[in-house]
Amino acid sequence: MDNESNKHWLYRKKNLPTLWGIQIAILVLAVLPEFFVHHHPHFEQQGIGMDATWGFFAWYGFLTCTAMVVGAKLLGIFLKRKDTYYDD
């Protein structure tokens, strides 16, 4: 317990739920304007209006990042080597 209290508050286990709570609150704040702001689609002429739908930028950012992390993980299976690989 003494060990815990020596740590910076960011590293204390009991503060972890608070930190997640703050993050979720920020995300909710970021999505709130969706109820008031009307987005203009970038590609009206091409008949694409997806980028003006509710919460598009939020889910697009989340999903593409997930895809990139998973993609990197998969490529890593083939590409990763020990970091002494090129040492003679």
Partner 1 sequence: MTEMLGSMLLPPGLVLIIGAFLLPLVEGKLRAALVLTLPLLTLALVWLIPDGNHVQIAFLDYSLQPVNSTAEGRLFATIFSIMAFAGGLYALKTATLTELSAAFAYAGSAIGVTFAGDLITLFIFWEMMALGSTMVLWANTAANPKAYKASIRYLLVHLLGGVVLMSGIAAYVFETGSTAFTAMQADSVATWLILAGFLVNAGAPPLSAWIADAYPEASPSGMVFLSAFTTKTAVFVLLVGFAGTEILIYIGLYMVFYGIIYALLENDMRRILAYSIVNQVGFMVTAIGIGSEMALNGAAAHAFAHIIYKALLLMSAGSVLLMTSKRKCTELGGLFQSMPVTAINGIVGALAISAFPFTSGFVTKSLETSAAAYEGLVFVWFMLLAASAGVFLHAGIKFPWFVFFQKDSGMRPPDPAANMRWAMWLFSFLCIAIGVYPQALYSILPYAVDYQPYTVDHLVTQFQLLLFAGFAFFVLLPMMKRTLTISLDFDWFYRRFAKVVGDEFSVKTGKAFDRLETQVRGGATGFIQRLHRHHGPQGILARTWPSGAMVLWVAVMLVASLVLYYV
Q: Is 43 in the site for partner 1 (CB under 8 A)?
A: yes
Residue 16 token pair: 């972890």
Please say which residue, 1 or 66, places its beta carbon nearer to partner 1: 66
**Position among 1, 3, 8, 13 found at the interface with partner 1 (CB under 8 A):** 8
CA distances in angstroms from 41 to 47, 71, 77, listed in the order given = 9, 29, 39
Q: Is 54 in the site for partner 1 (CB under 8 A)?
A: no
**Contact, 27 vs 33, CB < 8 A?**
no
Q: Is 53 in the site for partner 1 (CB under 8 A)?
A: no
- Considering only CA atoms, which of 57, 28, 58, 27 is closest in space to residue 42? 57
Q: Is 21 in the site for partner 1 (CB under 8 A)?
A: no
**Position among 16, 21, 53, 59 found at the interface with partner 1 (CB under 8 A):** 59
